[in-house]
Amino acid sequence: MKIACIGGGPAGLYFALSMKLRDPSHEIEVFERNAPGVTFGWGVVFSDQTVENLTANDPMSAKVIADEFAHWDDIDVHIHGQTITSSGHGFIGIGRKRLLEILQQRAREPGVALHFNQECDPADPKWRGYDLVIASDGANSRFRDAQSDAFGVDIDVRRNKFVWLGTSKVFDAFTFAFEETEHGWIWAHAYRFAPDASTFIVECSEETWAGFGFDKISQDESIAACEGLFAKYLNGHRLQSNATHLVGSAAWLNFRRIKCERWNAGNVILLGDAAHTAHFSIGSGTKLALEDAIKLAQVLNRPGLSLEAALDEYVAERNLEVLKLQNSARNSTEWFETLHRYLHFEPLQFAYSLLTRSQRISHENLRLRDREWLESVERWFWEKAGVPGKSAAPMFAPFKLRELTLENRVTVSPMAMYSAVDGTPNDFHFVHYGERAIGGAGLLFTEMTCVSPEGRISPGCTGMWNDDHVAAWKRIVDFVHANSKAKICLQLGHSGGKGSTRVGWEGNDVPLDGGNWPVMSASDVPWSPINQVPQPMTRADMDAVREQFVAAVQMGLECGFDMVELHAAHGYLLSSFITPLQNNRIDDYGGSLENRLRYPLEVFAAMRAAWPSDRPMSIRISASDWAGDNGITPEDAVAIGEAFAREGADLIDVSAGQTWADAQPVYGRMFQTPFSDKIRNEGKLATMAVGNIYEPDHANSILAAGRADLVALARPHLIDPMWTLRAAAALDYRDVYCPPQYLNGLSQLARNLKRDAEAAAALRV
Ligand SMILES: Cc1cc2nc3c(=O)[nH]c(=O)nc-3n(C[C@H](O)[C@H](O)[C@H](O)COP(=O)(O)OP(=O)(O)OC[C@H]3O[C@@H](n4cnc5c(N)ncnc54)[C@H](O)[C@@H]3O)c2cc1C
Ligand SMILES: Cc1cc2nc3c(=O)[nH]c(=O)nc-3n(C[C@H](O)[C@H](O)[C@H](O)COP(=O)(O)O)c2cc1C
């Protein structure tokens, strides 16, 4: 094949080499606009896995590269005048210039033709003379942009500013240095990539950048200012740019996240940064570019594979890898963009939050890297929880809400069982809640328990409006208190326009076949075309329902519940006031967020007044309508949390969505936790995270990073009431409360899991 590679960066060079090595008969030319040795940037970092991939592809260049690697293990985080050092991170780095020199030299050996100082124009007809044109021309690819519709290009320009500098100061550790200035925070990411040189990337918000006037001064003046700001880390060494072709403020960039729906159009194929970018803070751009090159060379040379099939395989495999990485990169990018959230953390937690920002590194990963350091974090966490001197998994640390102390941080999230008759819980509920209390969670929520027959979702919902309900719930609460250390919280709600439907397993939100009751809501917006048009609530309705909530709270007190939660999420009655997607009122209860919150806050305040002041109350909210700016946004959610906190809410139970029928949530592990993080750390409120949290490692990472104060698990508890006791066995945590009847089972499980873990560790060695 006759192939032109546009751009002599890592992607173009390595692809050219990889093709030639597989089949010397390919005619391959690389066209680079710059002269050899002229390149932007300084060092790049790799992982051991990337080196393995390079070695399998071309042992010769891999060896030369690996021989020149700078290795380091530590990460230093400098913040608030302290340095937090953790170890075991195992980085390797190399200078970008040196990497390109090695690749240029190696590519020439099998006969790749390298042309320098050649600016390529996508409109030039000469490209038609090539079988394939590889657009390896980087993030600003002209070849991609010339056909941006064909490639389905999606570019997200991020808000922080950064400049990629170098220095002769040799950093022994990967260094993050955060400095507070009169214009806001500015920080450096620095690492050694050669015996005498380090990369030094400076990053800040746009406001700080403008505050310093970096938009108006020359590149040299910017560099001099950075030298002054980071003088204490540079020990007299200078900072330098090798992007001297960029003038003035152009040396400062905004990161552009690029992704493409399609990677080939006509004879042009995208490779490396032209197809996708990953934020520099996770250091994977070069790895992705090299791995793209390997895969494309593999499929193009596989005998019997058509070009079309080869490209399909290349795009499918690489796209998946890229998406995974871009996901982590987005978390990392956002962490730096929302730095203000974490600046009030103590340095140790700040460093933990930084290290786990991409969600690729978890609590147990950190234990493998640096056990001693992780234990210092755990000790700190327990001390803050009021237990000094103890180092154990954060999920087992106690948590206090008013005068209520929870045994640990795991909760059983509210889950409708649709199994009551006339609202009365029965033996199913007794066993269901009893089992989950015995299973070790610190807090157990009831399902949404409805304040009136018309407030039920389905005929199977539990209620709290008569003496039968009080007696049945009291039996459950008494059992929980007598047989476990769990506390129990009554979730109260009213279904609003989503009521009068079948039980959950007969279809979500599907109206009853017969016996429907009229429903009311904030407005006359039906949940879906098959649901009833609700009656907009009158002021008299509002008074009546508020009093039903108050009566239910009083009954809850009679039952002995430890805590009460108001359900104002998921599109039910109170949620229908809060979300603009359901509320089109033109009175004092519609319009602005303040107006939309008025009735839910009134209900909450009335409940609070009826509930003892030493017992906590929580509020469940949907922190996003998954509708962009048309619905509740995470910013609104902070204001909502703050408003309920002012009325006496002690905990914000941060759920999301289910507020309009066509929402398209973005699912994934711990997918709603970012909302909890935002509300907790911007609103300075206690929060509970929920949503696809299913491993003890998830729980511990969320808690130690200060992304939530409690973690709630719903579906995992459906299938495993003993989730918390199992976690205790897996983490070898001995102080968990286990009913004496079950102790033998717990210790056997702990022994078996320990043996398995030791066998797995021996295999790794
Ligand atoms: C601040 C910063 C830090 C980074 N840190 C890391 C890191 O630590 N680790 C890591 O793996 N990655 C890092 N990256 C990303 C990394 O630099 C890229 O992902 C990687 O270089 C992609 O390789 P590429 O060959 O696709 O593109 P590039 O390296 O951008 O190469 C493209 C080449 O094409 C040439 N070119 C462009 N247009 C034309 C044209 N029209 N005609 C001729 N030639 C053209 C350019 O001159 C360039 O040489 C970082 C990036 C930035 C901005
Ligand atoms: C069967 C079932 C019933 C649920 N019922 C309720 C409920 O009554 N009240 C409520 O606030 N959330 C309810 N939820 C939502 C859960 O509390 C939780 O927010 C959601 O399932 C996400 O958590 P998970 O990923 O751990 O399952 C229910 C979830 C399930 C699976």
Comparison of pLDDT for 243 and 31, the residue scoring more? 31
Contacts of 637 (CB under 8 A, 6+ apart): 621, 623, 624, 654, 675, 678, 679
Q: What distance in angstroms lies between residue 714's CA and the mean position of ligand 2's atoms?
A: 5
Identify which of 18, 30, 33 to mutate to test ligand 1's pocket (most ligand atoms within 8 A of the CB).
33
**323, amino acid identity:** L
Q: Are 438 and 387 in contact (CB under 8 A)?
A: no
Give the mutation target among 273, 281, 282 for probing the ligand 1 site: most ligand atoms within 8 A of CB: 273
For 93-113, what is the mean pLDDT? 94
The answer to whether the CB of 11 is under 6 A from ligand 1 is yes
Q: Does residue 247 carry a pLDDT above 50?
A: no
* Confidence at residue 308, expressed as pLDDT on a 0 to 100 scale: 95
- The closest alpha carbon to 200, from 232, 165, 168, 172, belongs to 165
8 vs 247: which has the higher pLDDT: 8
- Compute, in angstroms, the gap from residue 272 CA to the centroid of ligand 1: 8
| Residue 275 in contact with ligand 1 by CB distance below 6 A | no
- Residue 243: its pLDDT value, please? 67
Does position 41 have pLDDT exceeding 80, yes or no?
no
- Residues 620 and 494: their CA atoms lie apart, in Å, by 13
Cα–ligand 2 centroid distance for 298 (angstroms): 46
pLDDT at 765: 66
Degrees to nearest 5, angle at CA 285 with 189 and 29: 135
Q: 594: burial class by Cβ within 10 Å (0-12, 13-18, 19+)?
A: exposed
pLDDT for residue 245 is more than 60: no
Dist CA 83 CA 85 (whole Å)? 6
pLDDT, tens digit, for every residue of 116-128?
Answer: 999 999 999 999 9
pLDDT digits (tens, 9 = 90+) for 499-510: 999 998 998 899
Q: Round to whole Å and give the CA distance between 27 and 19.
A: 9
**CA 654 to CA 708: how far, in whole Å?**
9
CA of 528 to the centre of ligand 2 (A): 21
pLDDT, tens digit, 9 for 90 and up, residues 582-639: 999 999 999 999 999 999 999 999 999 999 999 999 999 999 999 999 999 999 999 9
Percentage of the chain with pLDDT > 70?
98
Is 623 near ligand 2, meaning CB less than 6 Å away? no
Residue 209 has, within 13 A of its CA and on its CB side, a CA count of 18
CA 164 and chain centroid, separation: 26
Pairing between β-strand 687-690 and β-strand 710-713 as defined by DSSP bridges: parallel
By CB atoms closer than 10 A (0-12, 13-18, 19+), residue 197 is: buried
Q: For the chain, what is the radius of gyration of the CA atoms?
A: 30
Q: 705 near 666, Cβ under 8 Å?
A: no
pLDDT of residue 273: 96
pLDDT band at 376 (very low <50, low <70, confident <90, very high): very high
- Write down the catalytic residue from 130, 572, 589, 733: 572
pLDDT bin (cut points 50, 70, 90) of residue 147 is: very high
Strand order in the sheet with 264-265: 113-115, 27-31, 2-6, 132-135, 268-270, 264-265
**Region class of 253: left (phi > 0), else alpha (psi between -120 and 50), else beta:** beta
Ligand nearest to the CA of 284: 1
- Assess contact for 3 and 130: CB atoms under 8 A: yes
For ligand 2, say whether the CB of 567 is within 6 Å of any of its atoms.
yes
User: Does the Cβ of 289 fall within 6 Å of ligand 1?
Assistant: yes
Look at the block and give the residue holding tokens 């800040």.
Answer: 204
* Pocket lining: 292 vs ligand 1, CB cutoff 6 Å: no
Ligand 1, atom 31: closest residue by C-alpha = 9
Residue 123 to residues 16, 144, 391, Cα–Cα distance (Å): 22, 12, 64
Q: Is 12 in the pocket of ligand 1 (CB under 6 A)?
A: yes
Atom nearest to 143 CA in ligand 1 = 41
Distance CA 323, CA 219 (A): 34
Cα gap 282→284, rounded to integer Å: 6
> Ligand 1, closest atom to CA 277?
19
- C-alpha to C-alpha distance for 621 and 632, rounded to whole angstroms: 10
Ligand 2 mean position, distance from CA 419 (Å): 15
pLDDT reading at 68 higher than 70: yes
Between the CA of 726 and the centroid of ligand 2 the distance, in Å, is 21
Site to substitute for ligand 2 among 415, 509, 574, 687, most atoms within 8 A of C-beta: 415
Q: In whole angstroms, what is the distance from residue 668 CA to residue 686 CA?
A: 23
Instruction: Please list, residue by residue across 401-438, b when 16 or more beta carbons sit within 10 angstroms of its beta carbon and e when fewer do.
Output: beebebbbbbbbbbbbbbbbeebbbeeebeebbbebbb
The ligand with the least distance to the CA atom of 667 is 2
The pLDDT > 90 percentage for the chain reads: 87
- For the CA of 712, the nearest atom of ligand 2: 26
Structure tokens belonging to residue 215:
């938009």
Helix, strand and coil content of the chain, in percent to the nearest 5, comes to 45, 20, 35
Residue 139 contacts residue 259 (beta carbons within 8 Å) = no
Ligand nearest to the CA of 446: 2
How sure is the predictor about 244, in pLDDT bands with cuts at 50, 70 and 90? low
Query: Would residue 433 show up in a list of annotated catalytic residues for this protein?
Result: no
pLDDT digit string, tens, across residues 577-589? 999 999 999 999 9
In this predicted structure, what is the pLDDT of residue 360?
86
Contact predicate 367/374, CB 8 Å: yes
Spatial separation of the C-alpha atoms in residues 77 and 350, rounded to whole Å: 9
**pLDDT at residue 220 tops 70:** yes
Expressed in angstroms and rounded, the spacing between residue 486 Cα and the centre of ligand 2 is 19
Cα angle: 363, vertex 367, 373; to 5 degrees? 105
Q: Are 679 and 623 in contact (CB under 8 A)?
A: yes
Query: Which ligand has the nearest atom to the CA of 29?
Result: 1
| Ligand 1 contact via 138 beta carbon (within 6 Å) | yes
Look up residue 31 and give its two tokens.
């066209």
Q: How far is the CA of 43 from the centre of ligand 1 (A)?
A: 12
Q: CA nearest 292: which of 110, 54, 568, 123?
A: 54
Per the prediction, the chain carries an average pLDDT of 95
| Phi and psi, residue 650, nearest 5° | -100, -15
Tokens of 723: 């989730």
Both tokens assigned to 44: 């790049």
Closest atom, ligand 2, to C-alpha of 567: 11
d(CA 544, CA 693) in angstroms, rounded, equals 38
What is the greatest pairwise CA distance in the chain?
89
Which residues sit opposite 197 in a β-bridge?
A: 194
User: What is the dihedral sign for C-alpha 119, 122, 123, 129?
Assistant: positive
| Residue 747 CB partners (closer than 8 Å, separation 6+) | none
- As a whole number of angstroms, the distance between CA 117 and CA 327 comes to 36
Closest Cα to atom 11 of ligand 2: 414
| Ligand 1 contact, 616 CB (< 6 A) | no
**C-alpha–C-alpha distance, residues 239 and 260, integer Å:** 35
Tokens representing residue 146 in the block:
């010339």
Residue whose token pair is 């310093």: 212
Structure tokens at 729: 């066995």
Cα atoms in the Cβ-side hemisphere of radius 13 Å centred on 94: 23
Which residues touch 174 (CB under 8 Å, ≥6 apart)?
72, 74, 75, 76, 89, 91, 189, 190, 191
- CA proximity to 28, closest of 142, 134, 139, 137: 134
Ligand 1 center to 546 CA (angstroms): 61
**SS3 label, residue 398:** coil
By residue count, the chain amounts to 765
To test the pocket of ligand 2, the residue of 413, 489, 495 to mutate (highest count of ligand atoms within 8 Å of its CB) is 413
pLDDT at res. 42:
82
- The Cα 174–Cα 91 span in angstroms is 8
Q: Is the CB of 32 under 6 A from ligand 1?
A: yes
Distance 464 CA to ligand 2 centre (A): 19
* Nearest residue (CA) to ligand 1, atom 27: 138
448 lines ligand 2 (CB under 6 A): yes
The closest alpha carbon to 468, from 454, 482, 480, 453, belongs to 453
What distance in angstroms lies between residue 376's CA and the mean position of ligand 2's atoms?
35
Q: Hey, which residues does 254 pair with through a beta bridge? A: 161
Ligand of minimum distance to the alpha carbon of 619: 2
Q: Decide which of 675 and 92 is more confident.
A: 675
Neighbours of 485 (CB within 10 A): 19
- The answer, yes or no, to whether any atom of ligand 1 lies below 6 A from the CB of 93, is no
Find out whether the beta carbon of 714 lies less than 6 Å from any atom of ligand 2.
Answer: yes
Query: Quick one: pLDDT band at residue 417, thresholds 50, 70, 90?
Result: very high
Ligand nearest to the CA of 495: 2
